[in-house]
A and B are shown apart, each in its own frame.
Chain A
């Protein structure tokens, strides 16, 4: 076709274009370098603050003490970390299956949507810390944690997927009808793919929320021992005034949160990079 330029490798000579290329390169480096620089400054400042003011470590430990607390308590922390991770991911999987399942059900039947969507909103607007104590009366500890984390995580997936399923192009819907598509085919080939970007952005929110839900619920659940997550380690350490250990547990929670965010972002990028504007632009 003549109406598409198949650009070969062309040497740039235009001054403006050169400047633009340089600025792009600088930005690409800055994207990773700047956060690292900020981190170093914050850690250095923190260290300085503690040493210059001679703040006792049971009030504010320096980063070095937090690190050694992490190493010393590694055995107990890693067990708890694993518990928190397990609950987070179980809750997230549950949120995905129930959220997407309900969204599909709502999409198939307007009546079901009209009947149940308000109650999904009720679940969403009730603060989890207010329901959690009740949940722990009726469910055992692990199941209770799971329910709490699920309640927090599932709504963004439900509402985004519902919106995505309803947002398919109306011309394409007409086309599918002309070609005699069944209800299932419409869902599979048209509404599903249309909903994918919405679902993935819901997933990114839900990933973080399921971790928050798992941690918050454990604060409410309190009692621990074997099978306790990181939140319980923080509580326990605070009772014993082991402030460095509190920071160490907090550090692990933050690492988990970042990992979930990166994971869901990567998944989203991989699934959308070929066709969706949001992902396509990032490559350029």
Chain B
């Protein structure tokens, strides 16, 4: 949370544009090879506290957008700008695979972002304890990834992403490979965690239900070429609980997002 910024401390219902902008994409194109347009003219303002879902069919450039923001690839045209001074540990990622180092224990895996900043294990042990406690795995510090289930590995991956208390977390379909029961549980936990560390999340998914449950902004994208076709707001208060999943509002938002997604798929044909 930014110091001395009263807006960021306000409840979610507060006017969105009053919150501090942390990142903006302006007219971003990305072309792969000679002529594969993965993304065309993408504009996005990311404000403090946002939970943005990038929703769309495969090939719509949602993962490309995430990789561009992560600075793993660079725009062919346009710009991606951080509007806040960025410190190490302000950005983290969670990928579809848990992406843990198999040779390192759970605690050592969570240590990684700090370790790469040159911080000793002892100096950040409290942070590691806390991050693992947040995802309910404090008992498993000494376990190796192969001893954990898929859901638990993903929790470690999330703990690693949160351990530096980043301002922006990028998530690329993190729960797509998990069973539905585990996915629902992790959705609930993710919201609680985001709230707890006051982070901003950009979340790539192809699930309408997941995007409505999690986000306050849904960016619907279409394929061939990858582009944004619509942005929907989900103006429902946080914290959202299991009851929200069965509410009429949830159903209405899902209908809206489904309709937009259908348009997107139609537009991509």
Contacts and interface: CB of A to CB of B under 8 A. Distances in A.
Interface string A267-284: 000000011110010000
Interface stretch (A53-61, A150-158, A175-183): A175-183
B29 to A, nearest CB: 22
Contacts of B137: 1
Interface in A160-194: 169, 171-172, 174-181, 185, 189-190, 193
* Chain A interface size, under 10 / 10 to 19 / 20 to 34 / 35 or more: 20 to 34
Contacts of A276: 102-103
A280 B145 CA distance: 13
Given A3-B182, A169-B99, A190-B101, A177 B72 contact: yes
Contacts of A226: none
28 contacts: A1-B140, A1-B149, A1-B152, A1-B155, A3-B149, A4-B148, A171-B99, A174-B67, A174-B93, A175-B95, A175-B99, A176-B116, A177-B72, A178-B91, A178-B93, A179-B92, A180-B88, A180-B117, A189-B112, A189-B115, A193-B103, A193-B104, A274-B144, A275-B103, A275-B104, A275-B144, A276-B102, A276-B103
Name B's interface SS.
Answer: loop
A196 interface: yes
A180 B99 CA distance: 17
A213 to B, nearest CB: 32
Interface in A224-281: 274-277, 280
Interface residues of B, number: 33
A169 B182 CA distance: 25
B1 to A, nearest CB: 22
A171 B70 CA distance: 13
A-B interface, 9 closest residue pairs, ranked by CB to CB distance from nearest: A171-B99, A193-B103, A3-B149, A179-B116, A275-B103, A181-B116, A275-B102, A179-B113, A275-B144
Contacts of B95: 171, 174-175
Name A's interface SS.
Answer: helix
Contacts of A193: 101, 103-104
B156 to A, nearest CB: 11
Given A1-B136, A1-B137, A178 B99 contact: no
Given A169-B99, A171-B95, A178 B148 contact: no
Given A174-B70, A277-B146, 4 more contacts: A3-B182, A172-B101, A181-B116, A196-B103
Nearest to B147: A4
Contacts of A178: 70-72, 91-93
B27 interface: no
B97 interface: yes
B112 A4 contact: no
B78 interface: no
B151 interface: yes
A27 to B, nearest CB: 24
Contacts of B115: 189
Contact of A171 (B88, B97, B104): B97
